[in-house]
Structure 1
Amino acid sequence: MSVHHPLHRRLALIDMGTNTFHLLIVELPEARHAQPVTLLRTKVGVRLGEGGISKGQIAPEPYARALHTLAGFKEEMELHQVTDVRATATSAMRVTSNGPELVKDIFEQTGIQVEVIAGDREAELICAGVRRAVPLGPEKHLIMDIGGGSVEFIIADESQIFWKQSFEIGAQRLLDKFFPDPSGVFPPEAVAAEKAYFQQVLAPLAAAVAEFRPVGMVGASGSFDSLADMHLGCLRAEADLPPSTDLPLESFHRSQQQLLSLPHEQRKALPGILPMRADMLVVAVVLIDYVLELTGLTHLRTSAYALKEGLLAEMLAS
């Protein structure tokens, strides 16, 4: 007599960021404490915030790209026989007038129900994801995630979050504000203007750093992955990223210097750069530099895990 085994639970985690949509498909083990097996890890540069986020709407082209990308994700999910889906959307869908309409269209066209999450919740999930990649230990670390729409800062150790805040100052917004024509070199006065803006907007971060005194910094997702790739001199595929990479301070400053002194075409040609990030990285390194100056931190690590791995961590714990 043949025994019929039920299909293993296969979970798809979708993180719809303002720049990048991520898809992670894992198979959940039957044993309680076994680790999930990754079946697919992929991302698509959707640039949902392009040409509209600063005006409070998703422009028609990115809107179409989002639907197209999710149709592709749905095919992957069917191919991998996914049984459960969790999809979250962040800043671009949070703050735009037509974000709810896109959620509705996605559901109608793919059957995927997208949950638009608040900045605070985003910060929590990022922290949970980073903890899976970087052993924080008992010491407080500053975790930073630069998205296209928002930037999250979290001060945490391995078991506790001491402070967290989401700021709507993501790379696409910074680009719109300080570098509207990114074909040339980012001028020194724009660097100064961007830093003056941070001094004003990031006052709560300065207060939290003074109070909790983190000892190290962990940078999650996009811009930090790119800086680690620049440090290593090669563009790593999503599936090849180790959970965490050390980023020496002098390497960061070298990359920063290159990004700030080259025009768009030459930035794009730098080893380790995704063309889509060539411009956003310019405003992002100024932000990272500002935070390094503010905190005096010298130890920088990158985490390839962020929001979607945080969702996974939560689901495994429940």
Structure 2
Amino acid sequence: MHTAHAHRRLALIDLGTNTFHLLIVEMPATPGDKPVPLLRTKAGVRLGEGGISKGIISPEAYARALHTLAGFKEEIELHEVTEIRATATSAMRVTSNGPELVRDIFEQTGIRVDVIPGSREAELICAGIRQAVPLGSEPHLLVDIGGGSVEFIIADEATIFWKQSFEIGAQRLLDQFFPEPEGIMPAAAVAAEQQYLGTVLAPLMAAIEHYKPVSLVGASGSFDSLADMQLGELRTESQLPPHTELRLASFQESYHSLLSSNHEQRVALPGILPMRADMLVVASVLIDFVLGISGIKRIRTSAYALKEGLLAEMLTA
């Protein structure tokens, strides 16, 4: 008997430390066809705020997470999704009450969250970036700056040469080096962050030295923001092209603006999402540091990351 609703609809959820992402796609009936995106949305949950550096998810962040997932669940039901894949990263990996949140999410929404290790996160991010950016046969440095962790991957279109996840995400850097972001980030704090990165990123420096990546490809909110600043307007998730050339001069100009503004002025910069204004300062110090140690001159931003990597993997499985 032929059923009208034999469609396979997949919801991919990425529960990040700053942002929760939801992607709903119609899976192709014919192998080889591309999935059709039905919904692409994100919510600023700031799961790491007020707690990640202490190893907990704060009660406010916990409530925001459950509220956001209840909203995602409505969209999932509305779109008659047949299968859900949800992954959680740094904030849920390292906090003492992360497992409790995973249980509450399941009890309240029926969504099973898979908490993945950093190395797996790096692999999925690489798979996602490859869908957006043609890497060719030269090695590139792929970077995903999350709120909790930062993944660095050196890869070409076919091979991952090196990868590592570091628990130095933007929320942690903010807590450590810029805890009162109302004002301008002091020069001493910028220097302290650079010095810290010089120590903690020693393995990255060795890998760059060895593989000599030719460009930087950045995925995540910070890079989306820098691409929006280059354009001078804030775009929604669905308006972003798969990848953008971020001119080095544009990055440097944005970096200078961020470093010379207080919170109020940063929020007013064209292309800035208010929730990201402060984290973008410490994230830009990190990007500038990586450009400095690598001598890389070409930057591209990828709108695709972990959830697109998961989708790509499922299509080839």
Partner of 1:227: 226
Alignment of 1:241-260 (within 5 A): 241-260=240-259
Cα offsets for 1:226-283 (capped at 9, x unmatched): 0000000000111111100000000000000000000000100000000000000000
Cα offsets for 1:170-193 (capped at 9, x unmatched): 000000000000000001111100
Partner of 2:50: 51
Partner of 1:70: 69
Report the Cα offset of residue 5 of structure 1: 3.0
Report the Cα offset of residue 15 of structure 1: 0.1
Report the Cα offset of residue 3 of structure 1: 4.3
Alignment of 1:209-220 (within 5 A): 209-220=208-219
2:277 pairs with 1:278: yes
In structure 2, how many angstroms separate the alpha carbons of the residues matched to 1:12 and 1:241?
20
TM-score normalized with structure 2 length: 0.99
Partner of 2:34: 35
In structure 2, how many angstroms separate the alpha carbons of the residues matched to 1:70 and 1:3?
34
Matched AA of 2:243: S
In structure 2, how many angstroms separate the alpha carbons of the residues matched to 1:26 and 1:241?
17
Cα offsets for 1:134-183 (capped at 9, x unmatched): 00011100000000000000000000000000000000000000000000
In structure 2, how many angstroms separate the alpha carbons of the residues matched to 1:315 and 1:9?
13
Partner of 1:302: 301
* Local SS of the residue matching 2:135: coil
2:8 pairs with 1:9: yes
Matched AA of 1:103: V
In structure 2, how many angstroms separate the alpha carbons of the residues matched to 1:92 and 1:4?
42
Report the Cα offset of residue 212 of structure 1: 0.4
In structure 2, how many angstroms separate the alpha carbons of the residues matched to 1:311 and 1:4?
28
In structure 2, how many angstroms separate the alpha carbons of the residues matched to 1:139 and 1:217?
12
Partner of 1:189: 188
- Number of residue-to-residue matches in the alignment: 317
In structure 2, how many angstroms separate the alpha carbons of the residues matched to 1:9 and 1:73?
18
Matched AA of 2:240: L
* Local SS of the residue matching 2:142: strand
Q: Over aligned residue pairs, what C-alpha RMSD do you find? A: 0.7
Partner of 2:142: 143
Cα offsets for 1:14-62 (capped at 9, x unmatched): 0000000000000001111010000000000000000000000000000
* Local SS of the residue matching 1:33: coil
In structure 1, how many angstroms separate the alpha carbons of the residues matched to 2:285 and 2:94?
24
Partner of 2:313: 314
Unaligned runs of 5+ in 1: none
Runs of 4+ deviating beyond 4 Å:
none
TM-score normalized with structure 1 length: 0.99
In structure 1, how many angstroms separate the alpha carbons of the residues matched to 2:55 and 2:200?
19
Report the Cα offset of residue 221 of structure 1: 1.3
Matched AA of 2:244: T
Partner of 2:115: 116
Matched AA of 1:287: L
In structure 2, how many angstroms separate the alpha carbons of the residues matched to 1:30 and 1:137?
30
Per the alignment, do residues 25 and 286 of structure 1 end up closer, same or farther by CA in structure 2, a change over 3 Å counting? same
In structure 2, how many angstroms separate the alpha carbons of the residues matched to 1:22 and 1:151?
17
Partner of 2:25: 26
In structure 2, how many angstroms separate the alpha carbons of the residues matched to 1:130 and 1:294?
22
Report the Cα offset of residue 13 of structure 1: 0.2
Partner of 2:152: 153
Report the Cα offset of residue 4 of structure 1: 2.9
* Local SS of the residue matching 1:309: helix
Cα offsets for 1:278-318 (capped at 9, x unmatched): 00000000000000000000000000000000000000000
* Local SS of the residue matching 2:121: helix
Partner of 2:132: 133
Matched AA of 2:187: P
Report the Cα offset of residue 6 of structure 1: 3.7
In structure 2, how many angstroms separate the alpha carbons of the residues matched to 1:19 and 1:7?
36
Matched AA of 2:161: F
Partner of 2:236: 237
Unaligned runs of 5+ in 2: none
* Local SS of the residue matching 1:39: strand
In structure 1, how many angstroms separate the alpha carbons of the residues matched to 2:3 and 2:63?
42
Report the Cα offset of residue 78 of structure 1: 0.2
* Local SS of the residue matching 2:22: strand
Cα offsets for 1:93-124 (capped at 9, x unmatched): 00000000000000000000000000000000
Matched AA of 1:166: S
